Amino acid sequence: AMEKSYVSVLLLLVATSCALAKDVGKKETKESSTKPKLPQTLSRGWGDQLIWTQTYEEALFRAKNSNKPLMIIHHLDDCPHSQALKKVFAEHKEIQKLAEKFILLNLVYETTDKNLAPDGQYVPRILFIDPSLTVRADITGRYSNRLYAYEPSDISLLYSNMQKALKLLKTEL
């Protein structure tokens, strides 16, 4: 009986993030040929005044050398959940201020590092990595089947998770 009640909850939560569909590419080419793409900054709209790293390797290198935590945002341009979260994230003054204390990376593709997908590849998902280059799988959002997913309504939880990631540093280093 217990398991049955879980199923309905999980089905509800699955809708909160975009599965990474394999045929994303097809739609993309059609769109980009019709409307000219603006040159994209590394921020991709998540905070244009913040300093973003270009690659995962560079981000890891900088986290280790600067002794700052790394925040990685996985997202997709044509995922409405990613877009909604991005808008709230970019307009949230406290989050933008706090983000300055992190090495920042946002990705529209998956890396080969399986540690960045502890419970699967979905977007949007946000993971924190400490300067010892450990993925902090313990810093999670509120959805049991998408541990690192955040909705726009979860923005204050994301803010406190960012604070948590910074606090870890002080206690552990």
With b for 16 or more beta-carbon neighbours within 10 A and e for fewer, the 31-69 pattern comes to eeeeeeeeeeeebbebbeebebbeebeebbebbbeeebb
Structure tokens at 13: 């939560």
Name residue 148's amino acid.
Y
For the question of whether the overall pTM of this predicted structure is more than 0.85, the answer is: no
Summarised one tens digit per residue, pLDDT across range 148-170 is 999 999 999 999 999 999 998 76
Q: How many CB atoms lie within 10 A of CB 156?
A: 11
Structure tokens at 158: 């994301």
| pLDDT score at 38 | 53
Highest-confidence range of 13-22, 23-32, 135-144, by mean pLDDT? 135-144
- Reported as a pLDDT band with limits 50, 70 and 90, residue 37 is low
User: What structural domains and CATH numbers belong to the chain?
Assistant: 56-113+121-166 (3.40.30.10)
Instruction: Return d(Cα 37, Cα 86) in angstroms, integer.
Output: 19
CB contact set of 153 (below 8 Å; sequence gap of 6+)? none
